[in-house]
């Protein structure tokens, strides 16, 4: 991430604005450049955003792991939180996880529904599509949640939204049969 960010800064800030090819050259010549240019370059470098967020997921003998790398290359471990919302609808989705008081100890079916509802709420933001894909990563590997389960989640979601009543997890969620298939890797 840092290497990519540095390359972009060199190509988009240092070279076009000061004719410098690298950070090394910038540091060498910084004292010979006009103070206003140095201040401007430093401010642009400080504010530069690659526009890339990385969500890293995995599982090992200790359990599931979630990490997030964001501008300017800061890594955050989220194992204790158990979720991360990224993208245009992240604020809408975060609120759903907060409302349900999601933790890593939430049963799988409840977590699947929370994730589904969060995705549906995120659709209120521009640019979030209506198609939903879900993947479960656990000790059994990587499994894709099948469309019939997503269709049932959609039905449950619309039923709950229509009644305008948010309640705990009803029997249809806790006893939902989650159909998956093995994800093929290239």
pLDDT at 173: 83
Predicted local distance difference test score (pLDDT) of residue 46: 95
**Band of the pLDDT at 93, cuts 50, 70, 90?**
very high
What's the confidence (pLDDT) of residue 171? Answer: 81
Q: What tens digit of pLDDT does each residue of 38-53 get?
A: 999 999 999 999 989 9
Q: Report the pLDDT averaged over residues 47-62.
A: 91
Measured CA to CA, the distance from residue 178 to residue 145 in angstroms comes to: 7
Contact (Cβ atoms closer than 8 angstroms) between residue 87 and residue 94: no
- Tell me how far apart the alpha carbons of residues 9 and 22 are, in angstroms, rounded to a whole number: 9
What is the DSSP secondary structure assignment for residue 136, as one 8-state letter?
Answer: E
Nearest alpha carbon to residue 119 among 104, 105, 106, 129: 129
How high is the mean pLDDT of the chain?
92
CA 152/CA 175 separation, integer angstroms: 12
Q: Average pLDDT of 76-99? A: 94
Distance of CA 5 to the CA centre of its chain: 19
Q: What is the pLDDT of residue 164?
A: 64
Q: In the prediction, which pLDDT does 139 show?
A: 84
- Answer whether residue 75 shows pLDDT above 90: yes
Give the whole-angstrom CA distance, residue 114 versus residue 168. Answer: 11
pLDDT of residue 133: 95
Q: What letters, b where the CB count within 10 A reaches 16 and e where it falls short, cover 35-58?
A: eeebeebeeebeebebeeeeeeee
Share of the chain above pLDDT 70, in %: 97
Strand ranges in the chain using DSSP code E only, listed in sequence order = 54-60, 63-70, 74-77, 135-138, 141-145, 180-182
**pLDDT greater than 70 at residue 111:** yes
């Amino acid at each position: 991430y840092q290497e990519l960010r540095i390359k972009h800064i060199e190509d988009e800030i240092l070279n076009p604005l000061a004719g410098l090819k690298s950070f090394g050259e910038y540091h060498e010549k910084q004292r010979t450049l006009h103070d206003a240019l140095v201040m401007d370059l430093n401010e642009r470098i400080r504010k530069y955003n690659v526009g890339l967020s990385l969500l890293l997921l995995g599982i090992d003998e200790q359990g599931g792991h979630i990490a997030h790398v964001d501008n300017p290359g800061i890594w955050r471990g989220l194992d204790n939180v158990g979720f991360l919302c990224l993208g245009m609808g992240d604020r809408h989705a975060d609120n759903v996880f907060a409302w349900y008081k999601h933790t890593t100890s939430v049963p799988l079916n409840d977590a699947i529904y929370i994730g589904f509802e969060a995705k549906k709420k995120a659709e209120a933001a521009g640019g979030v599509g209506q198609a939903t894909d879900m993947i479960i990563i656990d000790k059994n590997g990587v499994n894709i949640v099948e469309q019939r389960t997503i269709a049932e989640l959609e039905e449950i979601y619309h039923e709950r939204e229509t009644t305008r009543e948010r309640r705990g997890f009803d029997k249809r969620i806790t006893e939902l049969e989650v159909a998956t298939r093995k994800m093929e890797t290239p």
